[in-house]
């Protein structure tokens, strides 16, 4: 059948199409995916073909491409075919490149035409539809008609494919609504409808723009969320620019603290001075309610909570498409998080470096990578750093060091221009970042809670400890979560890593503002066996850098206790930093106690012994500490005893057993004089003394001290305590070495019972104890057996 002979069937098809496509007679015919696919579906040989099967015919190349990773949703396909929703942008973008046009030509011939009753008739119907659509320019119409150069299947396929691609990619109009559901043109009604453009240095985010388009095609209300300065507004502006031809109207509104004022302040052409603000609002909102899905309203910087904005529900009920940028979390609509990446941050930095300084990017690539890692690939910060590097007055390595010390760069005085929220400002880096966070706009209770949570490690602040150490701040945590400043994960309050750095760098939290917190942290540090001591020490580590130490007396107590706890837990990197702070505080004699004068040298001895392994220097410091404590006196008996115990240990490491015995004996003597030999410290001192005696071959005295220790532990902690088990094992090994096998076996039994009870039968120390016992049973000669080291602290 040629094109002329099928004129009547074409007229019939057009009438059928018009009846299905138009709601009113005055609605114009439109060539789009809906109308073209309707013609193709109506001319199928198999009238029972499913919509999904038809999609697989039409988009065979797309679906067979392994890189697309796409599945059809039956409900969404139905909306596409009815013209109620635009075809997925992933499909449209796939066929836009010229190279992929030929793929659809081939699919028309191989997949679609075999199931079409009359391809020529279908081609003519689509041609007439093309001619009848007055919304298509003459240039575009002639281009499409140019594919019908001959009456061949190849020309039919090319023509239908080209019209289909054109129909999918042109401005979407809901076919089911027709003219009665089209929006009026706002350019004729609202005076200020100019759209802001993305910043000159904006880096394209094609994936995000495609995702937003898909979300808005299925959801009338979408929130673009993300931390401050991540690029939400710029993405929204880029989306408006990309989609301008696909919407009848796009209206950009900047939130100014109230929807009521924002809407009332719109300039309508027929507004008069006689209208009150209330009347203006009613009139303007009434008009907004007439806008349909073909209108996009973008509301920028909606950074408030649902409870503070009473009109949010009314705005959400509008029939138009709404895109809102916010840093907050809402229960309404659909959220889409704008995030960053290493690659994106690097592109933004490069865009902001002046042409004359681009050599820096290549010369210092490793340092720049470290810079971006320090700012957690934050977009606005990356742009500002690019401008700082353009001055060439600071090398990337130096800038990275300054950022590591304080991400606000408080010492940098360079004035930087930046466009944020459609306003260009020029200020120092620190001021720009602090304005971005808007910390000062928070209520005082929220500021304090946020600052305390920021002191915790990146893993977050467990809520039960936040409540225990500070106070019940459930309301503040909930509001901060709603404001988008924190997340609740696994019962912990967690901050975005970069937000945490910004909050800490601001140094907002004073010691005096939350005395109870520091007193509770101090108490936690004193019990190193508690599961929370490490968390408390991590918080103190951060506070060391960023808290305001306005209560120096309390802060000195915190530092002193932290030094002892870090030593017990072998946290020596933190130990050195805390020791520097302690030495600085000890210079202030108004807060420095008598004990601090000798403890400073004691803590220095620990540092040089444990970190620098300089035992000789440690002995010198400990001798000074003992001299000062002896001269000035001290009420801290345990501390005084520890000085002798530690210097005895240092002499033992040095190989001077005589001195080691002498000082350790003095340590035990101090505790015995004050009846404190029964304390955990007293037991530890006695055990250390007994070990040195054993090395000095004073066996009987060694055994006597061990037995006394076991008696003390049995009375204080019981014979099933962990310490009892370890000391019993040590004593058993000593007895075995001097051929007292029967006594050794008795203590091995006691050790196994105690250790197995607490550690389990498979623990390595229990297995060692059993192995030694079996060796002893298998021989009649003295056996030299090793024993595991005792715990640093004697415990029950």
Would you say residue 68 has pLDDT above 50? Answer: yes
Residue (of 155, 5, 17, 1) closest to 83 by Cα position? 17
Do 259 and 391 sit in the same domain of this protein? no
In this structure, are 364 and 309 located in the same domain? no
Residue 560 within any structural domain of the chain: no
Residue 232 shares a structural domain with residue 250: yes
Between 21-30, 53-62, 266-275, 722-731, the lowest mean confidence (pLDDT) is in 21-30
**Last-in-domain residue among 337, 357, 374:** 337
Q: Quick one: pLDDT at residue 29?
A: 77
Q: What are phi and psi of 431, to 5 degrees?
A: -65, -40
Please state, rounded to an integer, the average pLDDT across all residues of the chain. 87
Final residue of a structural domain among 396, 415, 437: 437
Extract the tokens encoding 608.
């040089």
Those residues whose C-beta lies under 8 Å from the C-beta of residue 223, and which sit 6 or more positions away, are 324, 325, 326, 330, 332, 333, 334, 335, 336
73 in the same domain as 26: yes
Label residue 324 by pLDDT band (50, 70, 90).
very high
Ramachandran quadrant class, 377 (left: phi over 0; alpha: psi -120 to 50; beta: rest): left
In a domain, 216, yes or no: yes
**Which whole number is the average pLDDT over 34-60?**
87
Does 679 score more than 90 pLDDT?
A: no
What confidence tens digit (pLDDT) does each residue in 695-711 have? 888 889 899 988 988 98
Q: Is residue 622 part of a domain?
A: no
pLDDT (tens digit per residue) in 89-139:
999 999 999 989 999 999 999 999 999 989 999 999 999 999 888 788 889
pLDDT at 781: 63
pLDDT on residue 391? 84
- What CATH number does residue 246 fall under? 3.40.50.300
Residues 139 and 163 in one domain: yes
Which of the listed residues 337, 370, 400 is the one where a domain comes to its end?
Answer: 337
Q: Which of 402-411, 663-672, 699-708 has the lowest mean pLDDT?
A: 663-672
Burial-class residue 254 by CB neighbours within 10 Å (0-12, 13-18, 19+). Answer: middle
d(CA 570, CA 534): 11
Q: Indicate if 168 and 213 belong to the same structural domain.
A: no
**Helix or strand (DSSP H, E) at 741:** helix 741-759
Q: Same structural domain for residues 317 and 351?
A: no
Confidence band (pLDDT; 50, 70, 90) for 677?
Answer: low
C-alpha distances in Å from residue 727, one per residue of 301, 599, 653, 687: 66, 30, 22, 8
In a domain, 482, yes or no: no
Question: Which position has the higher pLDDT, 12 or 367?
Answer: 367
Residues 281 and 390 grouped into a single domain: no
Is position 131 within any domain?
A: yes
Q: What is the mean pLDDT of residues 709-721?
A: 87
Asked if residue 114 and residue 35 are part of one domain, the reply reads yes
Matching residue, tokens 């303007």: 284
Q: What is the pLDDT of residue 678?
A: 67
Say how far apart CA 258 and CA 252 lie, in whole Å: 15
pLDDT band at 8 (very low <50, low <70, confident <90, very high): very low
pLDDT band at 567 (very low <50, low <70, confident <90, very high): very high
- How high is the pLDDT of residue 230? 94
- Please tell me whether residues 18 and 159 are part of one structural domain: yes
Q: Which domain holds residue 696?
A: 677-796
**pLDDT value for 265:** 94
Please state which of the ranges 173-182, 326-335, 602-611, 749-758 shows the lowest mean pLDDT: 173-182
Contact status, residue 387 vs residue 428, Cβ threshold 8 Å = no
SS3 category, 461: strand
CATH number at residue 709: 1.25.40.10
- Residue 181 predicted with pLDDT over 90: no
The answer on 117 and 48 residing in a single domain is: yes
Residue 319 placed within a domain: yes
**pLDDT at residue 12 above 50?**
no
Query: 537 lies in a domain?
Result: no
Give the model's confidence band at 16: pLDDT under 50 very low, under 70 low, under 90 confident, else very high: very low
Looking at residue 15, its pLDDT comes to 41
* Whether residues 326 and 234 fall in one domain: yes
Does 555 fall in a domain? no
Model's pTM, two decimal places? 0.73
Q: 248 or 679, which is more confident? A: 248
Total tally of structural domains belonging to the chain: 4
**Residue of 134 and 492 predicted with greater confidence:** 492
Reported as a single tens digit per residue, the pLDDT across 210-224 is 999 999 988 999 999
pLDDT > 90: what percent of the chain? Answer: 57
């Amino acid at each position: 059948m040629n094109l002329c002979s099928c004129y009547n069937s074409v007229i019939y098809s057009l009438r059928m199409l018009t009846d299905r496509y138009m709601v009113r007679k005055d609605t114009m015919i439109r060539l789009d995916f809906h109308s073209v696919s309707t013609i193709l579906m109506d001319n199928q040989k198999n009238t029972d073909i499913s919509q999904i099967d038809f999609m697989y015919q039409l988009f065979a190349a797309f679906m067979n491409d392994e890189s697309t990773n796409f599945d059809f949703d039956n409900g969404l396909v139905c909306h596409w075919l009815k013209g109620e929703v635009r075809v997925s942008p992933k499909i449209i973008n796939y066929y836009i490149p010229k190279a992929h046009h030929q793929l659809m030509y081939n699919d028309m011939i191989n997949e679609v035409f075999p199931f079409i009753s009359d391809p020529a008739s279908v081609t003519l119907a689509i041609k007439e539809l093309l001619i009848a659509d007055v919304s298509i320019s003459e240039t575009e119409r002639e281009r499409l008609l140019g594919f019908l150069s001959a009456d061949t299947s190849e020309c039919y396929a090319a023509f239908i494919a080209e019209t289909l691609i054109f129909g999918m990619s042109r401005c979407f109009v809901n076919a089911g609504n027709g003219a009665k559901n089209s929006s009026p043109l706002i350019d004729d009604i609202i005076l200020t409808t100019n759209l802001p453009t993305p910043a000159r240095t904006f880096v394209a985010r094609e994936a995000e723009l495609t995702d937003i388009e898909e979300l808005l095609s299925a959801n009338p209300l979408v929130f673009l969320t993300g931390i401050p300065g991540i690029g939400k507004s710029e993405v929204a502006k880029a989306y408006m620019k990309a989609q301008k031809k696909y919407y009848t109207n796009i209206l950009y509104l900047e939130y100014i603290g109230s929807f009521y004022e924002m809407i009332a302040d719109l300039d309508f052409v027929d507004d008069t001075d006689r209208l009150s603000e209330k009347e203006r609002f009613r009139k303007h909102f009434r008009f907004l309610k007439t806008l349909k899905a073909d209108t996009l309203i973008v509301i920028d910087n909606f950074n408030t909570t649902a409870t503070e904005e009473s009109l949010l529900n009314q705005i959400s009920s509008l029939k138009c498409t709404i895109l809102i940028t916010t840093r907050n979390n809402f229960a309404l609509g659909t959220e889409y998080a704008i995030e960053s990446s290493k690659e994106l941050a690097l592109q933004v930095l490069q865009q902001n470096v002046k042409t004359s300084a681009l050599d820096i990017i290549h010369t210092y690539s490793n340092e720049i990578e470290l810079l971006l890692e320090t700012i957690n690939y934050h977009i606005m910060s990356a742009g500002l750093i690019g401008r700082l590097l353009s001055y060439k007055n600071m090398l990337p390595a130096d800038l990275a060091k300054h950022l590591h010390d304080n991400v606000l760069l408080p010492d940098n005085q360079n004035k930087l221009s930046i466009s944020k929220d459609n306003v260009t400002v020029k200020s120092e880096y620190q001021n720009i970042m602090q304005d971005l966070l808007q910390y000062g706009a928070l209520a005082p209770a929220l500021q304090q809670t946020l600052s305390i949570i920021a002191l915790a490690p990146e893993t977050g602040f467990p809520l039960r400890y936040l409540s225990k150490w500070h106070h019940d701040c459930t309301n503040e945590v909930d509001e901060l979560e709603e404001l988008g400043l924190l997340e609740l994960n696994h019962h912990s309050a967690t901050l975005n890593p970069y937000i945490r750095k910004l909050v800490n760098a601001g140094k907002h939290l004073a010691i005096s503002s939350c005395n109870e917190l520091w007193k509770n942290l101090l108490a936690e540090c004193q019990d190193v066996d508690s599961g929370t001591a490490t968390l408390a020490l991590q918080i103190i580590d951060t506070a060391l850098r960023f808290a305001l130490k306005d209560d120096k007396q309390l802060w000195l107590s915190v530092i002193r206790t932290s030094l002892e706890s870090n030593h017990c837990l072998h946290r020596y990197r933190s130990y050195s930093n805390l020791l520097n702070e302690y030495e600085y505080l000890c210079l202030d004699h108004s807060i420095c106690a008598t004990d601090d004068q000798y403890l400073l040298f004691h803590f220095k001895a620990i540092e040089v012994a444990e970190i620098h392994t300089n035992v000789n220097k440690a002995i010198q410091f400990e001798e000074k500490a003992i001299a000062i404590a002896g001269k000035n006196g001290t009420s801290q008996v345990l501390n005084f005893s520890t000085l002798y115990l530690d210097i005895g240990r240092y002499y033992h490491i040095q190989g001077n057993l005589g001195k080691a015995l002498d000082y350790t004996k003095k340590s035990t003597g101090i505790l015995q004089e004050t009846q404190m030999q029964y304390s955990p410290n007293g037991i530890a001192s006695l055990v250390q003394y007994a070990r040195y005696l054993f090395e000095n071959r004073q066996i009987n005295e060694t055994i006597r001290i061990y037995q006394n220790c076991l008696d003390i532990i049995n009375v204080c902690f019981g014979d099933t305590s962990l310490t009892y088990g370890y000391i019993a094992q040590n004593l058993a090994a000593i007895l075995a070495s001097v051929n007292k096998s029967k006594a050794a076996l008795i203590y091995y039994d006691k050790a196994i019972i105690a250790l197995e009870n607490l550690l389990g039968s498979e623990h390595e120390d229990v297995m060692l104890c059993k192995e030694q016992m079996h060796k002893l049973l298998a021989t009649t000669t003295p056996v030299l057996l090793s024993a595991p080291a005792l715990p640093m602290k004697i415990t029950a």
